[in-house]
Chain A
């Protein structure tokens, strides 16, 4: 009964979404305020329907209702409760339901927060979101219903893919989807602007907090994904340039460019059509990501999620949504051209460079991701594009971004002043050069070109960003008053740029000084790595709630002192017959010690993989800084104040007309 209700709720949601898409458009054509204001109610009704559908699927998982095919595939009587709840999005059908739940949540938020916007704008935005939702409901109902029954019901479920039974993965997809789906709001704003032809500073100001919020979730989603891959896949890597990782990284790059170009559009009224195009691109790349993951067009470590038969639907959907948007763009954008003056040495000029590099990097990633497919299409053979390509192309492209980032807070709008710029940035520059040379020696006792470059660029980004807050703090007589006077938007930018610097320190550190070793150790034997000695104590049996494990004990000593005891495991999940390595990590800000268990031998020795990973935590710490930077920037009070003021102005204007 419950799953049927869930299925029915999705059908209902489809109906509401269709109305939400069509009625406001009619209202806009007929200038009918009642039809326009229907959009908000529809958005709220739609959310209730999806929430009900999602709750009923969760109920089936928690109560282990194996008569539902999707539950039987991904649940197991022995699965701990928390993973029974997260298993809802453990495979295709449930992921989609989570996707529409989040999309409808964003729509609900738009309907609530946009009350202060002009009615026609807010209604058109909701209408576009309704169209996107309609497509996804159709996708669920036509190809991927999670509520289909299985007759006869099996006695036991097939279990959640063990690789997904991890807290990191439990929150990784929802965060990622929050980001992917969040760009749909910027997309909807862009389409509404193209329809109405109203693309001004106010439009950019409405779009900015939504974009920043989506971006911040995507940042967190990618960061969590990287952390999860590092600790769960047992290869010690944090980024693999895997097609599915790229699929999440491309919208991030486009979204980052969008955040910056929106600033130009808001403050200077420039780059309008470019900003609209980026808003369309960011969401299109999110859809592309979904398509790549769900269709199985590309092979990847995420292949567990793929199914070619559904690819056609997403492709058709993508063609309609993106094709429609770009057609509208080709038709309407030429009318949006503004003839403002743009000096290259000014904040808007530097932001334009920022956009060029970000979009070029995004294009490079897209090219590398799709190149194997393109070659195959031209019958030129099967190849795969790996990290060497991406590192060779991507790193040089983002290096200039680091130089730009330092200038961000210093160069003013309209016209920059070289002398003032040099005056304010000389200390950060001096510190960066000194630390670039010294930091690798201080931390690792030696240096490489990459390590020095990374330390230089990283500290440059950090100190140049910090000097802005420092200067603002010093501007008041009392430093606390100075700090309080710093707007949240400035804090946000500063934190995000510091995060970027921390990230660069981490990446260059771990690439330059990381070390690894494959060894076969007998009981009591030890091996050296990165100045640490790893002693293999013993291996024994362990059992968990739904697995049995071989567990090794490794003592790590440094300078004659035991610094860590690690317990890497090799787990067997009998329900799926899957063997997983569960690596054991001693984490620290400056270094990780990482051991994963290989094969056991008859003589009691084991093969072990041992990693020394200096500074790797900085990579994710950088992501966390960016996340909080986004949070602060999106919650800046000027968005709220400005909206109230605009609303009043519009009411007065409407009153004058009437």
Chain B
């Protein structure tokens, strides 16, 4: 009987791995959810106003999208962000993460600008405070500036319809 023990262990491990394959290990819940957005003070791209802080995000729900011109996932989600900015009521704020203005401006000209406001975080300091570990990441904030949701990776219609819209409806 004891010769069958290894087999039993194997079956248990395989069960564990089947579970593991069905869950995405990158979906780590952000500790910031339910908390106020971290403080920041960043220059804006167009200079009007010169700088913005977390207080300027309050008043209405807003999507804060960390992106960069060098990032492939951002190119992927870009058309959908364009569509969102045309069709939806929610405000979109982009934070340009570890990027150069010289690269960003032609990128926006070429692909279009979905953002109501772009802040530049050239050294990635704000990114650290927000717990960004890769771009794109999108935070959903309610009117009081509380973080409701964090999307890691490109924004998709599924995420928007099934996760974010219900949250926004519930708060308004």
Known: A370-B16, A577-B71, A599-B123. A315 touches B7 (CB 8 A): no
Say whether B3 contacts A382, CB under 8 Å.
no
Say whether A377 contacts B19, CB under 8 Å.
yes
Stretch in contact with the other chain, from B20-28, B78-86, B161-169: B20-28
Which of B7, B18, B71 lies in contact with A327, CB distance below 8 A? B7
* B160 within 8 Å of A (CB atoms): no
* B29 within 8 Å of A (CB atoms): yes
Q: How far is the CA of A280 from the CA of B71 in the complex (A)?
A: 44
Q: How far is the CA of A577 from the CA of B98 in the complex (A)?
A: 11
Say whether A382 contacts B28, CB under 8 Å.
yes
Say whether B26 contacts A299, CB under 8 Å.
yes
Q: How far is the CA of A439 from the CA of B36 in the complex (A)?
A: 54
Q: How far is the CA of A298 from the CA of B71 in the complex (A)?
A: 24
* A584 within 8 Å of B (CB atoms): no
Q: Is the interface of B mostly helix, strand, loop or mixed?
A: helix
* B14 within 8 Å of A (CB atoms): yes
Which of A297, A323, A327, A334 lies in contact with B25, CB distance below 8 A? A297
Q: Determine the chain B residues whose CB is within 8 A of the CB of A45 once the complex forms.
A: none
Q: Determine the chain A residues whose CB is within 8 A of the CB of B98 once the complex forms.
A: 579
**Interface size range on B against A:** 20 to 34
Q: How far is the CA of A376 from the CA of B11 in the complex (A)?
A: 18
Q: How far is the CA of A491 from the CA of B123 in the complex (A)?
A: 55
Q: Determine the chain B residues whose CB is within 8 A of the CB of A280 once the complex forms.
A: 6
B18–chain A nearest beta-carbon distance, Å: 7
Say whether B6 contacts A319, CB under 8 Å.
no
Q: Determine the chain A residues whose CB is within 8 A of the CB of B29 once the complex forms.
A: 382
Q: How far is the CA of A296 from the CA of B22 in the complex (A)?
A: 11
Residue of chain B at shortest CB distance from A600: B123
Q: How far is the CA of A330 from the CA of B10 in the complex (A)?
A: 13
Number of A-B residue pairs having CB atoms within 8 Å of each other in the complex = 68
Say whether A329 contacts B3, CB under 8 Å.
yes
Q: How far is the CA of A308 from the CA of B6 in the complex (A)?
A: 26
Residue of chain B at shortest CB distance from A308: B21
* B4 within 8 Å of A (CB atoms): yes
Q: Determine the chain B residues whose CB is within 8 A of the CB of A377 once the complex forms.
A: 16, 19-20
Say whether B25 contacts A296, CB under 8 Å.
yes
Say whether B21 contacts A334, CB under 8 Å.
no
B111–chain A nearest beta-carbon distance, Å: 15
A409–chain B nearest beta-carbon distance, Å: 32
Q: How far is the CA of A183 from the CA of B32 in the complex (A)?
A: 46
Q: Determine the chain B residues whose CB is within 8 A of the CB of A326 once the complex forms.
A: 6-7, 10
* A295 within 8 Å of B (CB atoms): yes
Q: How far is the CA of A299 from the CA of B24 in the complex (A)?
A: 9
Say whether A277 contacts B6, CB under 8 Å.
yes
A367–chain B nearest beta-carbon distance, Å: 11
Say whether A297 contacts B7, CB under 8 Å.
no
Q: How far is the CA of A577 from the CA of B20 in the complex (A)?
A: 31
B104–chain A nearest beta-carbon distance, Å: 12
B157–chain A nearest beta-carbon distance, Å: 21
Q: Determine the chain A residues whose CB is within 8 A of the CB of B7 once the complex forms.
A: 323, 326-327, 329-330
Q: How far is the CA of A284 from the CA of B10 in the complex (A)?
A: 10
Q: How far is the CA of A319 from the CA of B18 in the complex (A)?
A: 11
Which of A's residues lie within 8 Å of B, judged by CB? Answer: 273, 277, 280-281, 284, 291, 295-299, 308, 311-312, 315, 318-319, 322-323, 326-327, 329-330, 333-334, 370, 373-374, 376-377, 382, 577, 579, 599
Which 9 pairs from chain A and chain B are nearest by CB?
A577-B70, A297-B20, A330-B4, A326-B7, A377-B19, A299-B25, A311-B21, A330-B3, A333-B3
Interchain residue pairs with CB less than 8 A apart (7): A297-B20, A299-B26, A312-B21, A318-B14, A373-B16, A376-B20, A377-B20
